[in-house]
Amino acid sequence: MISALEHPQILVSCYYKKSVNGEDIVNRHAFAYQISGSLTVQDGREKVTFQPGDFRFNVRNRLAKFVKQPGEHDPFKSLSIQFDEQTLRDFASEHHLIAETTSYVPPSFQLKKHPLLQNFVDSLQHSLPFFSDGNSELMKVKLKEALIVLLKVQPELKDILFNFQTPGKINLKAFMERNFRFNLSLARFAYLTGRSISAFKRDFFEEYAMTPAKWLQQKRLDEAYYLLKEENFKTTDVYSEVGFEDLSHFSFVFKKHFGVNPSSIS
């Protein structure tokens, strides 16, 4: 269950299931606090787990797979505040902030534990009932307060928060080899590599001599075979792990490609 509190920028996520698996691309920068349960995030380069009491920062336009795990006696519960671009632009202009070039940062990373962050989160939790009235002025105050606190605790966040550039053209092959497991549309793959859809398809064919759709299916099937054979994955787990939406479709194309059912691989 996700409570949006009448506004999409402050979210309380709460799940009572055994676990929730998924993948996502974050469209807004966000600051979050893990109240109970744990969150594991991986992006193909590294994997990090956030425990109760941890503060984290989610970076926009980054792909990630996640597992939301309830505690033994508590649900998975987190509180997050998302920053829309206009708020960030206004804040940067008001405080004369300009982002500098940064190296790679993961889609989610842990923030330093600091009394200012804890005090802000405590205050935000006490304020939650008031956001249900659509109090936009209070929302604006909390967004600005969050930015002030974050920059006080970790000034280097400036170069992430106030970087308003769209993804630049990057190495297509390196990106696809790292991210083929994500179930994205071709338009989204194109955007994240800094290309129009037509340029993406053209560059892709020049690199692989096949269409993106065909390459993605073959790559995912090969990865599924490896996971079934070498890592002892179950069929019910492997199809979503490699980017297929549907188990029956995965089983059909797997048998067509390899001549055997995925359940027979061991």
Domain ranges in the chain are 2-161, 172-264
**Quick one: CA torsion of 263, 42, 71, 1, rounded to 10 degrees?**
-90
Residue entry with tokens 């071709």: 186
Q: Which residues contact 166 (CB under 8 A, 6 or more apart)?
A: 191, 194
CA-closest candidate to residue 71, choices 37, 20, 33 = 37
Token couple for 255? 């048998």
Chain segment 28-83, per-residue pLDDT in tens: 999 999 999 999 998 878 889 999 999 999 999 888 889 899 988 899 999 999 99
What are the φ and ψ backbone dihedral angles of 83, each rounded to 5 degrees? Answer: -110, 115
Low-confidence ranges of the chain (pLDDT < 70): 1-8, 132-135
Domains 2-161 and 172-264 share a fold: no
* pLDDT score at 1: 44
* Euclidean distance between CA atoms 184 and 213, whole angstroms: 11
Query: What is the CATH architecture of 172-264?
Result: Orthogonal Bundle (1.10)
Token couple for 65? 């797979």
Q: Record the pTM.
A: 0.80
CATH number given to 2-161: 2.60.120.10
* pLDDT score at 3: 43
What are the φ and ψ backbone dihedral angles of 199, each rounded to 5 degrees? Answer: -65, -35
* Euclidean distance between CA atoms 206 and 220, whole angstroms: 20
* pLDDT score at 6: 40
* pLDDT score at 7: 46
**Quick one: CA torsion of 142, 135, 27, 240, rounded to 10 degrees?**
110
